Amino acid sequence: MKTLYFVLVFSGLAFVFFHFQKPSESGTSKNIQKNRSPQNQLDKQVLEAKLRQNVTPKPIQIEDSIKITPADLLGNLNMQKHPDFVNVEVKYAAHKYFWLRKVVYKAFLEMREVAEKEGIRLKITSAGRSFADQKGIWEAKWKARRKKFGSDKATAENILKYSAMPGMSRHHWGTDIDLNNKNDSYWATEKGKKEYAWLIENAPKFGFCQTYTPKNQQRPEGYNEEKWHWSYMPLASQFLQAFKTQISYADIQGFSGANTAEELRTIEKYVLGINPECSH
């Protein structure tokens, strides 16, 4: 181990100013460096980003209030003709038939541009959905699972792990997006973890919040965790408040299993059972 001494000579007197020891390149510190695998670093990066988000949540500027009708909330609107919606450019999406509210799309593009500069590519895999779109998803799963689960209630509970009943999806609002991949296995890969860590730390800066976090004491009910689902809070918070006052179980109808909505408390457990950070 090398020790270096610095001597200051002033007015004919010599003073020892300080000394400093150069750390060894061998031994314990070297072994620690070897144990820092890329995978462990990614796990740590995700955890640290989550802690930063929970301790110091990003302030969200709420957009000016907009008029929200039951049709907007239930997805009973034509997004292609609605003046507040815009078609997502196919180069940023899985296909050319995605629609979002204009302010949401603008915020996504701003986020995507910054992510791109930092080596993260963001792509929309799902955006706005009408009631008919959600019904198609729900009915396909209902048909495939009804016989297996034996009752309407059991079938609905199984589908509700990841899919909303028609009329109860946040995608109806045009405020929510799914990003990159909708499979848990993808987000467990090195690439997926890196993207998720970036989103956790940076998406709130652009107004986006991960709606469905892991279930715990703060979020004991609702859909399973979805690392891909992000809500644009300046608008989504307004839609959530409007849903509470304008929609009741009498409005949830027109699809297989609608009779189970109230029994399963789908408004309380699923519409309202979200990440607390996304509820205001």
Structure tokens at 98: 């995605």
Mean pLDDT over each residue of the chain, to the nearest integer = 85
Coil/strand/helix, residue 94: coil
Domain 43-278 has CATH 3.30.1380.10: yes
CB proximity list for 32: less than 8 A, separation 6 or greater: none
C-beta atoms surrounding 147 within 10 Å: 8
* Cβ–Cβ under 8 Å, residues 152 and 99: no
Q: Say whether pLDDT at 229 is over 60.
A: yes
Q: Break the chain into its structural domains and give their ranges.
A: 43-278
The torsion angles phi and psi of 231, rounded to 5 degrees, stand at: -105, 140
Q: What is residue 179's three-state secondary structure?
A: strand
The radius of gyration computed from the CA coordinates of the chain, to the nearest angstrom, equals: 25
**Backbone phi, then psi, for 89, in 5-degree steps?**
-60, 135
Q: For the segment 73-97, what is each residue's pLDDT rounded down to a tens digit?
A: 999 999 999 999 999 999 999 999 9
**4 or 121, higher pLDDT:** 121
Q: Would you say the C-alpha torsion 7, 8, 9, 13 has a positive or negative sign?
A: negative
**CA proximity to 278, closest of 202, 197, 210:** 210
Full-model pTM: 0.79
- Residue 206's pLDDT band, with cuts at 50, 70 and 90, is very high
Q: How far is the CA of 212 from the CAs of 25, 107, 236, in angstroms?
A: 45, 20, 14
